[in-house]
Amino acid sequence: MSQPYIEEEFRNKLDLDLWKRISKFALGHKRLLIPLTSSALLLSVVEALFPFATKVAIEIVEQGRPVIEVWKPGAIYFSLAVTLSILVLVFIRCAGGISHHISHDIKRDCFQRLQELEFAFYDAQPTGWLISRLTADCDRLSRILAWGFLDLVWGVFYVLAMSAVMLAINWKLALVVLSTIPPLIVISRFFQKRMLLASRQIRKHNARITASYNEGIAGVKTTKTLGREKQALSEFEGMSTDMYGASVRRAMLGAVYLPLVMTIGSIGSGLALWYGGHSVLSGYISLGTLVMFISFAGSFFFPINQIAMVLAEMQGAQAAGERVMGLLATYPKIKDSEEVKNRIATYAESSSMDPNIACDGYPHIINQIEFKNLSFSYNDKEAVLKNFNLTVTRGQTIALVGPSGGGKSTIVSLVSRFYEPTEGQLLFNDVDYRKRSLDWLQGQLGIVLQTPHLFNGSICENIRYGRLDATDEEIIEAAKIVNAHEFVMKLDDGYETKIGEGGALLSTGEKQLVSFARALIANPQIFIMDEATSSIDTETEKLIQEGMSKVFEGRISFVIAHRLSTIRSADQILVIQKGEIEEQGTHEELLANRGHYYELYVNQFRRERVRQELEAS
């Protein structure tokens, strides 16, 4: 199978406005940024003074002065070395600290934004894309904002410091040496871009190989049963060949680049030796000055290389910056309005602590939910629900049946306010639920899905996730109500049994019972079961049915089910077809009408009987 590329294509120009916005993450840590900048600046000056100390030492010998005076350049060298060590320690600590802080801040803001965004956002974004934003992209930006900034500041000031020292001592010889900088810049930019592109190609191919390993291991049974081993190996060899080609190109570029730069550095040293040698013989400059200039000529390569590398890396990281900033610039469409925020603030400031009043000042107890002329569309084109009307009171259970795509899951998603109506209203106690607190509303939900998600931990921890302050006794009581306690106690470690990633060590039915207990322990006012019994065995379905009668008592409950045996006791059964209510009534009333529900029930009953007969035989 083909693998999508993970990284976007290389950008040719720097977007300065984008980097200004990204740099705000670094500017928030001036306590580290100021000493980082200062140490990089001072470091460049200190390094530029080392050749000057050499100049002084050579001049002492050249002029035949007493050997005792050599202590002066020795002291200069020692002082510069100590200062250099201190500055290196400072900027490493500061750069490392800033990198970690920036990574933390970007990841925190991105994760917070992901928590705030509505479900519609996740409908259009692959999980892998979002994980990449929170990991690779955030880490890349944090590195370049800290270490890249350090290299850039140090490189620029080092070149300026060397240039200033040379121009101050002998501007003619300085211009001769500085004449090598333009070709160094051109060559560094040329090769750094291409080496970065080659490196990114290597990362792309490596990501494809990793994904292929993952798919090959996960799908090994499918590969073997279809006899696809040779084709799979051939595909993998093709990806490995691409990786090999990109690696060779990267190595070739590096092998050509370094000798070219060293050649230009040698030319600079040669020019300095040629012109400076004449000046020494003519008596215009000292031998120490010539040695200093030759040293500077050989030192220009490294800072210019670092500057070119940082700029190329910034261009390569620009796509990551755009993705991260684009995520942070995505604001949730479903959120509390200013009116709701003001109500919450007003109630918080009041001295009232009435448990019957919610945080937004409205009654906490939900006695009625009303769908009023409600319509909904995911894409603003085709309506999923059309002029939907329904009133549900506290204590009632509403069952939703019908063909896939008819709008059943949309109804419960609207109740949960994962989406909002395109037209019409959804009223809680005669108040449009968009005027209620979003956090409060979603805190009243207990949802059990067809494929429950359990976390890698113990059964106790997974149940407690529904209410983090729940006691062990409350967890056990919730498990007993939903009939999960018996199977839990049969496990070696009981409630402390580790269930593996995604609950892999439990059966589908056991995972459903745990998720049922987790939803119950939150003591929700609205209970939703979305195809919760469609993929479990008959015995577990019976346990869930027994638990449902206890759990639904005193709550507003919605049940989506293909297994109609699960919903026979519902107060109202709605047959949803193409976003509209085709039939409505109790189980007995709908069977008596001999309509769509009757056909569904009879056909399912026949299939179940045939299955039981086959199992018995």
- One-letter amino acid of 244: Y
pLDDT above 90 covers a percentage of the chain that reads: 10
In this structure, the strands spanning 368-377 and 383-393 are antiparallel
5 and 204 in contact (C-beta within 8 Å)?
Answer: yes
The Cα 440–Cα 419 span in angstroms is: 16
- Write down the pLDDT at residue 393: 93
400 and 574 in contact (C-beta within 8 Å)?
Answer: yes
> What is the span of the domain harbouring residue 253?
16-328
- Write down the pLDDT at residue 532: 60
Contacts of 418 (CB under 8 A, 6+ apart): 118, 119, 334
For 256, 407, 418, 575, the CA distances from 383, given in Å and listed in that order, are 62, 10, 17, 17
The Cα 497–Cα 491 span in angstroms is: 7
Q: What pTM did the predictor assign?
A: 0.67
Taking the alpha carbons of 468, 474, 479, 483 in that order, is the dihedral positive or negative?
negative
Helices 149-169 and 71-116 cross at an angle (nearest 10°) of 150
**Ramachandran quadrant class, 37 (left: phi over 0; alpha: psi -120 to 50; beta: rest):** alpha
- Write down the pLDDT at residue 540: 67
- Write down the pLDDT at residue 361: 86
- Block residue for tokens 């500085």: 178
Q: Is residue 349 in a domain? A: no
- Write down the pLDDT at residue 6: 44
- Write down the pLDDT at residue 10: 46
Taking residues 42-48, what's their average pLDDT?
85
- Write down the pLDDT at residue 7: 46
Domain count, the chain: 1
CB atoms within 10 A of CB 460: 20
pLDDT above 70 covers a percentage of the chain that reads: 86
Taking residues 428-437, what's their average pLDDT?
92
- Write down the pLDDT at residue 406: 81
DSSP label at residue 377 = E
**Ramachandran quadrant class, 159 (left: phi over 0; alpha: psi -120 to 50; beta: rest):** alpha
Query: DSSP letters of 559-598?
Result: EE-SSGGGGTT-SEEEEEETTEEEEEE-HHHHHHHTSHHH
Task: Give residue-wise pLDDT tens across range 490-508.
Answer: 888 899 999 887 787 888 7
Q: Is residue 535 in a domain? A: no
- Write down the pLDDT at residue 9: 47
Taking the alpha carbons of 277, 279, 283, 287 in that order, is the dihedral positive or negative?
negative
- Write down the pLDDT at residue 351: 66
* pLDDT above 60 (res 485): yes
The Cα 480–Cα 485 span in angstroms is: 5
Q: What are phi and psi of 398, to 5 degrees?
A: -110, 125
412 and 560 in contact (C-beta within 8 Å)?
Answer: yes
- Write down the pLDDT at residue 541: 67
In this structure, the strands spanning 431-432 and 368-377 are unpaired
**Which of the two residues, 29 and 320, has the higher pLDDT score?**
29
Alpha helices in 219-300 (DSSP H): 220-225, 229-282, 287-299
- Write down the pLDDT at residue 287: 83
118 and 418 in contact (C-beta within 8 Å)?
Answer: yes
Task: Give residue-wise pLDDT tens across range 454-473.
Answer: 888 899 999 998 888 889 99
- One-letter amino acid of 211: A
Taking residues 10-27, what's their average pLDDT?
74
* pLDDT above 70 (res 221): no
527 and 551 in contact (C-beta within 8 Å)?
Answer: yes
Taking residues 150-160, what's their average pLDDT?
85
Taking residues 268-291, what's their average pLDDT?
80
506 and 561 in contact (C-beta within 8 Å)?
Answer: no
DSSP H or E run through 368: strand 368-377
| CATH classification of the domain holding 170 | 1.20.1560.10
523 and 451 in contact (C-beta within 8 Å)?
Answer: no
* pLDDT above 70 (res 609): no
Structure tokens at 131: 């994980």
Q: Is residue 114 in a domain? A: yes
318 and 15 in contact (C-beta within 8 Å)?
Answer: yes
Q: How does the average pLDDT of the chain come out, rounded?
A: 81
* pLDDT above 60 (res 613): no
- One-letter amino acid of 301: F
Taking residues 263-274, what's their average pLDDT?
78
Report helix, strand or coil for 553: coil
- Write down the pLDDT at residue 4: 44
**Which of the two residues, 529 and 127, has the higher pLDDT score?**
529
Specify the range with the lowest mean pLDDT, choosing from 55-59, 150-154, 371-375, 533-537. Answer: 533-537
Q: Is residue 79 in a domain? A: yes
Taking residues 603-615, what's their average pLDDT?
65
For 11, 149, 188, 518, the CA distances from 319, given in Å and listed in that order, are 7, 18, 22, 41
DSSP label at residue 363 = B
Taking residues 196-219, what's their average pLDDT?
68
pLDDT band, very low/low/confident/very high, at 166 (cuts 50, 70, 90): confident
Taking residues 441-451, what's their average pLDDT?
84
Taking residues 584-604, what's their average pLDDT?
86
The Cα 410–Cα 404 span in angstroms is: 11
Task: Give residue-wise pLDDT tens across range 384-427.
Answer: 888 899 999 999 999 998 887 788 888 988 998 988 898 999 99
Query: How far is the first Cα of the chain from the last one, in angstroms, to the nearest whole number?
Result: 42
* pLDDT above 90 (res 371): yes
Task: Give residue-wise pLDDT tens across range 61-76.
Answer: 777 777 677 777 788 8
- Write down the pLDDT at residue 372: 92
- One-letter amino acid of 491: L
